């Protein structure tokens, strides 16, 4: 039932560009109004507070202007987007319950296989809804909650109500407002105190329909002393018109907890990826964002950690890669609210074939946030003369006893480097891959082996065609 | 004399529009060790880069035969696969790529097939022993933060692993202290022989105290002005380049050059 990518739009190596024909339970009309929001909420049988939350957020969305910085979002036609599509009546507990055509898609993406091999739990979202969900029994017995956000709201309403929208308020920015109004799917993770989930939980997001808007909402709460590693992956078909992915991800790491959130995003080149990700780290807690941005037409994403109490540590490791017609405007924010907090930002970007990468970051230390240490390092690699890389490292330091370091490098893959490697038998393409893989090695080595392999493979795929 | 392995005939090379090599003639028979000496700016490194195929060096005339085939149409990786090796004077840094990973990939590329891990480890161990290298050396990123001596040893390690038929050593002696020079030379000597021809490019005779060439060529202003036996090294040591140039060099810069 899947249609190969080349039937839709040829001339690219994007492997996940196929799409399925649509056979949906519910698909909203194009565009957005209050009634559609009420319909989504009613369809999901949500409590009244959530319906009101959505409607309030919708007002914020209407009132806020589009951002006039970062990438160009002026071409997004909000009236042409499908805001809610429900592909299946029921969520599958086993892959056998999932409609055949959707299962085939996830099979192609290798998700069931990955689940068998090395995951503690899997969530698979197709369009607006999570169609498959599982968690290992032993984790469930320990009280770990890993479910889709809608189920989380139904089954853990009090906890959701306590935290939902507190890290990223619905009026934070235009796209967070939009997400808050029309959100659907995403993950709810709640790890009890002291429980360490040693192997990753993975969520997989797939856009299928043309002009689809995907607005998943993820909330992760790590109770004191707990640990969880959450991984998300994303793909979409190739269409000639654009889709919008606008997620909101809120993380809360309570005292001594650690959350690692890894993204391996591989959107097709017609997706606007405008995502708000923010974490609160309390006393001695650690939050790490490992953010790998491949694909998309435009990505604007700046994972943030608010260091709320002494001892908190935040870290962002990011890789961005932009090819022809792509702009990766990515970075990180570290907000030191409390004294004795530390943060590290490591950003690596690769631009080729006229692509554009931007590092945009903020390190802020409030007055009173003394003995703060922050280290920012951004490296850009340009594959040719047409590509572009810019760095905007904002610093806003109110306290005097703050140690902030910033280093930035821009390098171009040089003739001498290629010649050296080629003189050892590597072809030009192999030599280029080796240089690029070496460049992202500091990030790749932080990933579990399977994901590091995947990242290197994706980068290699993006690189092919860049050398003649 | 055995068959010529590398034959350079009237080679002219320009770099960024400037002619650096102006008719080089040089033959290295199979399995022999030759030294190419010359003062600074004579074109020694240009010859090395040209033989390995650096895109910046344009051949405007002449030819190079390697094992009877024309070398100049091959890309650098094809030259490596055909058994040619260049030890760089200034090896390039590749951050994030470990020596061991690099060695395995380039060995696979040169051999055109996967190399058994056990054989690879065994070869690596013995090559590193000869070069007196620490085990953890190969876990470091390629030439990243290496001292001058470490870089040169790393080049020799690559040569030992790739097992070329002909190695061009471009000022491998520069920047080495006397102990490192001895170790590197022992590394070369353990490999040189019927299986490996060597062209040592150097300014100084120092390395030739350790590695004994069968033939010595002197390059001056883009041409080989004299070729001879090891006794030339002694003359250079005693008299310096000036006397040799006076005796064999061109009367003036544009004078036509007789074959040496």
Query: What would the pLDDT profile of A2-43 be if each residue is shown by its tens digit?
Result: 444 433 444 456 778 888 888 888 888 899 999 999 999 999
Average pLDDT of every residue of chain A: 90
Q: What is the average pLDDT across B163-191?
A: 93
Angle between helical axes of B117-130 and B148-162 (0-180°, round to 10) = 130
Predicted pLDDT of residue A12:
57
Query: In this structure, are residues A426 and A434 in contact, taking their beta carbons and an 8 Å threshold?
Result: yes
Query: What would the pLDDT profile of B34-65 be if each residue is shown by its tens digit?
Result: 999 999 999 999 999 999 999 999 999 999 99
Do A288 and A153 fall into the same domain? yes
Q: What is the average pLDDT across B131-149?
A: 93
Query: Any chain A CB within 8 A of the CB of B77?
Result: yes
Report the residue of A415, A423, A426 to disrupt the B interface, i.e. the one with the largest count of B CBs within 10 Å.
Answer: A423
For residue A423, which residues of chain B lie inside 8 Å, CB to CB?
Answer: 52-53, 76-77, 79-80, 85-86, 88
3-class DSSP assignment, residue B230: coil
CB contact under 8 A, B96 and A415: no
Query: In this structure, are residues A268 and A236 in contact, taking their beta carbons and an 8 Å threshold?
Result: yes
Token readout for B69 is: 């085939």
Look at residue A260 and tell me if it is in a domain: yes
Q: What is the average pLDDT across B193-203?
A: 93
For residue A217, the enclosing domain spans 21-301
Predicted pLDDT of residue A351:
95
Q: What is the average pLDDT across A32-58?
A: 96
> Given A280, A301, A322, which residue is the final one in a domain?
A301
Q: What does the alpha-carbon distance between residue B111 and residue B105 come to, in Å, rounded to a whole number?
A: 10
Residue B94 has pLDDT above 50, yes or no: yes
Residues of A (115-154) whose Cβ lies below 8 Å from B? none
Residue B1 has pLDDT above 60, yes or no: no
Task: Report the share of chain A in percent with pLDDT over 70.
Answer: 96
Look at residue A324 and tell me if it is in a domain: no
Q: What is the average pLDDT across A457-468?
A: 67
Report the residue of B94, B101, B146, B160 to disrupt the A interface, i.e. the one with the largest count of A CBs within 10 Å.
Answer: B94
CA B159 to chain centre: 10
Query: What would the pLDDT profile of A327-384 be if each residue is shown by its tens digit?
Result: 999 999 999 999 999 999 999 999 999 999 999 999 999 999 999 999 999 999 999 9
CB contact under 8 A, A423 and B80: yes
Overall number of domains in chain A? 2
Chain B nearest C-alpha distance from A430 (Å): 9
> Given A255, A280, A301, which residue is the final one in a domain?
A301
Q: Is A445 exposed, middle or buried (0-12, 13-18, 19+ CB in 10 A)?
A: exposed
Chain B nearest C-alpha distance from A457 (Å): 16
Domain B4-88+166-248 is of which CATH architecture? 3-Layer(aba) Sandwich (3.40)
Give the β-pairing of A258-267 and A286-295.
parallel
Q: What is the average pLDDT across A68-74?
A: 91
Query: Any chain B CB within 8 A of the CB of A411?
Result: no
Q: Which of the four pLDDT bands, split at 50, 70 and 90, describes residue A131?
A: confident
Q: What does the alpha-carbon distance between residue A77 and residue A43 come to, in Å, rounded to a whole number?
A: 25
Helix (H) or strand (E) run with residue B70 in it: strand B69-70
Residue A249 has pLDDT above 90, yes or no: yes
Residue that has been written with the tokens 């090891």 in this structure: B230
3-class DSSP assignment, residue B147: coil
Chain B nearest C-alpha distance from A83 (Å): 43
Query: What would the pLDDT profile of A75-101 be if each residue is shown by its tens digit?
Result: 999 999 999 998 887 888 888 888 888
Chain B nearest C-alpha distance from A417 (Å): 6
CA A47 to chain centre: 28
Residues of B (120-159) whose Cβ lies below 8 Å from A? 141-142, 158
Query: What would the pLDDT profile of B14-28 be if each residue is shown by its tens digit?
Result: 999 999 999 999 999
Q: What does the alpha-carbon distance between residue B69 and residue A312 come to, in Å, rounded to a whole number?
A: 66
Residue B202 has pLDDT above 50, yes or no: yes
CB contact under 8 A, A423 and B75: no
Q: What is the average pLDDT across A265-281?
A: 93
Predicted pLDDT of residue A8:
40
> Given A284, A301, A318, which residue is the final one in a domain?
A301
Query: Any chain A CB within 8 A of the CB of B91?
Result: yes
Query: In this structure, are residues A394 and A345 in contact, taking their beta carbons and an 8 Å threshold?
Result: no
Rg (CA), chain B: 18
CA A108 to chain centre: 21
Predicted pLDDT of residue B253:
54
User: Can you give the length of chain A in residues?
Assistant: 468
Report the residue of B15, B45, B52, B96 to disrupt the A interface, i.e. the one with the largest count of A CBs within 10 Å.
Answer: B96
Domain boundaries in chain B? 4-88+166-248
Smallest Cα–Cα separation from A138: which of A155, A163, A151, A120? A120
Predicted pLDDT of residue B88:
97
Bin B241: left if φ > 0, else alpha if -120 < ψ < 50, else beta.
alpha
Residue B105 has pLDDT above 70, yes or no: yes
**The model's pTM:** 0.85
Chain A nearest C-alpha distance from B43 (Å): 18
Q: What does the alpha-carbon distance between residue A390 and residue A411 come to, in Å, rounded to a whole number?
A: 12
Do A433 and A293 fall into the same domain? no
Give this complex's ipTM. 0.94
Residue A342 has φ and ψ, to the nearest 5°, of: -135, 150
Query: Any chain A CB within 8 A of the CB of B68?
Result: no
Task: Give me the residue from A415, A425, A434 closest to B80, CB to CB.
Answer: A425
Smallest Cα–Cα separation from B86: which of B155, B153, B144, B176? B155
Residue A292 has pLDDT above 50, yes or no: yes
Residue B258 has pLDDT above 70, yes or no: no
Q: What does the alpha-carbon distance between residue A237 and residue A37 come to, in Å, rounded to a whole number?
A: 26
3-class DSSP assignment, residue B12: strand
Predicted pLDDT of residue A117:
79
For residue A430, which residues of chain B lie inside 8 Å, CB to CB?
Answer: 77, 105, 109
Query: Any chain A CB within 8 A of the CB of B163?
Result: no
């Amino acid at each position: 039932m899947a249609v190969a990518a080349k039937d839709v739009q040829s001339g690219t190596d994007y492997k996940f560009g196929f799409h399925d024909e649509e056979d949906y339970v519910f698909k909203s009309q194009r565009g957005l109004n209050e009634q559609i929001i009420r319909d989504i909420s009613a369809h999901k049988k949500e409590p009244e507070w959530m319906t009101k939350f959505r409607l309030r957020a919708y007002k914020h969305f209407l009132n806020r202007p589009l951002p006039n910085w970062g990438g160009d979002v002026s071409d997004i036609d909000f009236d042409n987007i499908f805001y809610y599509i429900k592909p299946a009546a029921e969520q599958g507990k086993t892959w056998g319950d999932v409609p055949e055509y959707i299962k085939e898609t996830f099979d192609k993406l290798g998700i069931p296989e990955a689940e068998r091999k090395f995951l503690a739990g899997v969530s698979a979202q197709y369009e607006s809804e999570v169609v498959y969900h599982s968690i290992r029994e032993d984790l469930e017995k320990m009280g770990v909650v890993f479910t889709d956000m809608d189920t989380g709201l139904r089954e853990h309403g009090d906890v959701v109500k306590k935290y939902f929208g507190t890290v990223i308020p619905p009026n934070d920015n235009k796209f967070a407002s939009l997400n808050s109004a029309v959100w659907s799917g995403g993950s709810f993770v709640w790890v009890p105190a002291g429980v360490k989930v040693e192997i990753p939980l993975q969520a997989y997001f797939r856009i299928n329909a043309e002009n689809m808007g995907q607005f998943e909402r993820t909330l992760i709460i790590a109770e004191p002393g707990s640990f969880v590693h959450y991984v998300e992956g994303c793909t979409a078909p190739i269409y000639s018109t654009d889709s919008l992915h606008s997620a909101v991800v809120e993380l809360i790491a309570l005292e001594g907890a650690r959350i690692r959130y890894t993204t391996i995003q591989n959107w097709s080149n017609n997706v606007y990826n405008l995502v708000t990700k923010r974490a609160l780290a309390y006393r001695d807690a650690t939050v790490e964002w490992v953010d790998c941005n491949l694909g998309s037409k435009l990505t604007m994403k700046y994972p943030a950690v608010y260091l709320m109490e002494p001892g908190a540590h935040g870290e962002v490791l990011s890789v961005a890669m932009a090819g022809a017609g792509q702009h990766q405007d990515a970075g990180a924010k570290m907000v030191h609210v409390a004294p004795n907090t530390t943060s590290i930002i490591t950003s690596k970007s690769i631009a080729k074939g006229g692509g554009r990468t931007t590092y945009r970051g903020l390190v802020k230390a409030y007055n009173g946030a003394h003995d703060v240490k922050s280290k920012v390092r951004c490296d850009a690699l340009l594959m040719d003369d047409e590509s572009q890389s810019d760095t905007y490292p904002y610093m806003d330091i109110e306290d005097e006893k703050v140690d902030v370091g910033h280093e930035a490098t821009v390098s171009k893959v040089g003739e001498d480097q290629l010649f050296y490697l080629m003189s050892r038998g590597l072809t030009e393409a192999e030599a280029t891959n080796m240089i690029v893989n070496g460049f992202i090695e500091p990030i790749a080595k932080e990933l579990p082996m399977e994901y590091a392999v995947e990242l290197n493979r994706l980068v290699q795929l993006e690189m092919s065609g860049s050398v003649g | 004399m055995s068959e010529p392995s590398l034959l350079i005939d009237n080679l002219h090379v320009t770099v960024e529009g400037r002619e650096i090599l102006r008719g080089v003639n040089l033959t290295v028979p199979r399995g022999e060790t030759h030294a190419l000496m010359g003062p600074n700016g004579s074109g020694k490194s240009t010859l090395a880069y040209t033989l390995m195929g650096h895109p910046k060096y344009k051949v405007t005339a002449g030819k190079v035969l390697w094992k009877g085939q024309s070398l100049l149409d091959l890309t650098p990786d094809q030259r490596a696969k055909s058994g040619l090796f260049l030890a760089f004077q200034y090896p390039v840094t590749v951050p994030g790529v470990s020596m061991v990973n690099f060695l395995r990939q380039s060995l696979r590329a040169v051999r055109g097939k996967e190399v058994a891990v056990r054989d690879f480890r065994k070869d690596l161990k013995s090559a590193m022993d000869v070069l007196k290298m620490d085990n953890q050396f190969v876990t470091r990123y390629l030439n990243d933060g290496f001292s001058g001596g470490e870089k040169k040893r790393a080049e020799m390690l690559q040569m030992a692993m790739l097992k070329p038929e002909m190695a061009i050593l471009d000022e491998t002696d520069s920047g080495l202290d006397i102990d490192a020079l001895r170790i590197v030379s022992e590394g070369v000597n353990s490999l040189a022989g019927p299986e490996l021809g060597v062209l040592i490019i150097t300014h100084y005779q120092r390395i030739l105290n350790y590695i004994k060439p069968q033939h010595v060529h002197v390059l001056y202003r883009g041409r080989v002005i004299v070729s001879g036996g090891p006794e030339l090294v002694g003359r250079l040591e005693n008299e310096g380049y000036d006397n040799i140039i006076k005796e064999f060099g061109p009367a003036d810069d544009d004078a036509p050059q007789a074959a040496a």
